[in-house]
Amino acid sequence: MRSIEQVADAVYAPTGMKPAYAYIMMTIEDQHPLTIKTIATELGYERSTVSRMVKTLAQKKLVILATKGRATTVDLGPASDAFLTVANACLVKFGQVTDDYLGSDKAAMTKLLTKNNEKLRSSSHDNLSND
């Protein structure tokens, strides 16, 4: 996993931010506005991590934060278009790079990682609920 994270860091370097920021932005791009809780659930991040990260994105005018009841909603900001153009190009490049590295193993590996990630997320949620 660390190796693929290093590849992602290199590929997403043109955004000027770690890949997780691009993942948040692209999630919001797909459907917006979203709550911090929804983003955290979609990406499998802790809510506190997403909260911290969207504050950074807001400082850069990439997102706009609004309080709606007890939830904070996140929408695309005025500087989001240029960032998303670069981030989406990085996503395409990341796909190409991982295709080159992993070849025919990529599909099976991705399927297995996704399946195991779902198991771990479900298991940890169940274990936390039982405490």
Count the domains in the chain.
Answer: 1
Tell me the pLDDT tens digit for each residue of 87-96. Answer: 999 999 999 9
- Going by pLDDT thresholds of 50, 70 and 90, the confidence category of residue 131 is very low
pLDDT tens digits for 34-69? 999 999 999 989 999 999 999 999 999 999 999 988
When pLDDT is averaged across residues 120-125 and rounded to a whole number, the result is 64
Residue 119 located in a structural domain = no
CATH of the domain at 70: 1.10.10.10
* Pair of tokens at residue 25: 């932005």
Flag whether pLDDT at 1 surpasses 70: no
Query: Is 48 within the bounds of a domain?
Result: yes
pTM: 0.82
Contact 80, 63 (CB under 8 A): yes
Name, in order, each residue with C-beta under 8 angstroms of 21's C-beta and a sequence gap of 6 or more: 15, 53, 56, 57
